[in-house]
Amino acid sequence: MELKLFIEKFAEQFDDTPIEIFSSDTVYKDLDEWSSLTALSIIAMVDEELDKRITGADIRNSSTIEELYDLVKSK
């Protein structure tokens, strides 16, 4: 999966945040809508879309969407 598609899939996990807000350098934990439930949605999305497993620690250790994408690709 390319970064652009990953960002789109990432953005789909948010209900009220406009998609234009999301880019590779978005610090997702700074978004108003970010919550532990959103983190679980991201974990599930990565599992379903990429057939890869990430943990809450992986999300905590990443700051931007691109950092998380790079971590997922390395697994």
Structural fold of domain 3-13+23-74 = 1.10.1200
- Residue 14: predicted pLDDT: 96
Tell me the mean pLDDT in the region 58-63: 96
Confidence of residue 54 (pLDDT cuts 50, 70, 90): very high
Which letter, b or e, does each residue of 15-43 get, where b requires 16 or more Cβ atoms within 10 Å of its Cβ?
eebeeeebeeebebeeeeebeeebbeebb
Q: Using a pLDDT cut of 90, give the percent of the chain over it.
A: 97
Of the pLDDT bands very low, low, confident and very high (cuts 50, 70, 90), residue 73 is very high
Please state the rounded mean pLDDT for residues 17-44. 96
Provide the residue ranges of all domains of the chain, joining segments of one domain with +: 3-13+23-74
Task: Evaluate the CA torsion angle 59, 65, 66, 70 in order and state its sign.
Answer: positive
